[in-house]
Structure 1
Amino acid sequence: MSTELRHLQVIGIGTGDPDHLTLAAVKAMRRADVFFVLGKGNQKDSLTRLRRDILDEHVRRPYRVVEADDPWRDRSQNQFAGYTDAVHDWRRRRADVCEELIRDELTPGQCGAFLVWGDPSLYDSTIAILDGIRAREEVAFSYEVIPGISSVSALAARHRISLNRIGGPVHITPGRRLSETFPNDDGDIVVMLDARESFRHLAGSGIWIYWGAYIGTPDEILVSGPLDEVSGRIRRMRAEARAEHGWIMDTYLLRINTDGAEG
């Protein structure tokens, strides 16, 4: 029996633009023998196609792509405790799928890779899932993480703004926790994973929003301006985009302008 370890790479690939790949990400992809992809249904086939397009453009050596269905996740929970339990349950089932892929599709001594949207350290479960699999001690492997351009960085770049103002911090929160965070007297707020459009509950002069969806893809949408003026427009565009594509990934920055001027 081989004493060699399987090796995995968790590669941040940015928000969809092949040009967002770092040189480190490209070099890591070129070391991989197998790429694992968890599909999210027919409505999100475009996400799988984007991964394959990235591989076609940057990887010259022979490789395999192994796909599996991502387990269903209960997104109906509103309370934090219920939401946390639902996420832990989903991660356990996702770990079962990933463990089977690693064991059955990756030979000891080979290198496998997960291509992660944005950056693996920011609101992504891959690192936690691999740690959970290692803790089970059923299949041995090592892994490394290659950072990527996050949707937060891409949002700021596309709007040509800085995330922070002079000497100020930036708070990053999921949409379900926005009501606990806003207003933030000590800085600005980046909101991610906001399926419920939490910004619609905010009102007041001086609040600016910098919003973006499908950032880095051909379907990119950007809106910025006083929240009271553009909130309705964002909600309409968001609904239209979701209806067209079957899914949406968006991120936004909320900023209170104490001087009444943009930015």
Structure 2
Amino acid sequence: MSRKLDGKIALVTGATSGIGLAAAKRFAAEGATVYLTGRRQSELEAAVAAIVAAGGRATGVQADSSNLADLDRLYAQIQSEAGRLDVLYANAGGGGMLPLGAITEEQYEDTFNRNVKGVLFTVQKALPLLGRGASVILAGSTAGSMGTAAFSVYSASKAAVRNFARSWILDLKDRGIRINTLSPGPVRTPGLVELAGPDAAQQQGLVDYLASQVPLGRVGDPDEIAKAAVFLASDDSSFVNGIELFADGGMAQV
């Protein structure tokens, strides 16, 4: 029986943990040859090893998505080894919490470099490798369409990403490249729990609070987001373009 991504070349940025790693594992399990990026070499090697141990095909490339030289090196390697890119999941990003009145220039630049500049140039520099039928997935968030205390900089960056998808499908309408945004709600990842600091009790308190805000009554698992990413990456979504797919347990829908 054929798998949903058989024969496809996929790239997942920020794939050393959390949603990115789960997506890379799912893409490989569905038959794709997967390139993973991350900023930390040891975690990147562990992620690749886990995929290969499960029978998948994966290559790790150490890269910071907000560093244009790193992106050039990444795409040069993909061009040399694979010659094309069928699926791009621009997942790398992140951000911290500061309320208005305490926001710093450093926090603003770090968040927008990772979530806006990084996504912009990750996609733009991939264009020569993307052919007709390629799928681009942008990492959104429920925060991009909801108000969240002490999270305005991150939320604004994700609102920008949402509009990238709307605008870029017009820029690329003659090329047959689909671009969609995948917006998770709260998902138990290292990046989420670390927002509460290093204390385990505080981390669990944050998770419990977020679960209480979700109509399903729990936070998500990274693999649940990865399954949605497989849909957007595959030909199952061949007429889906420019949408924001919420995988949020209903959080942003009420």
TM-score normalised to the size of structure 1? 0.36
Higher relative contact order (CA 8 A, sep 6+): 1
Higher helix share: 2
TM-score normalised to the size of structure 2? 0.37
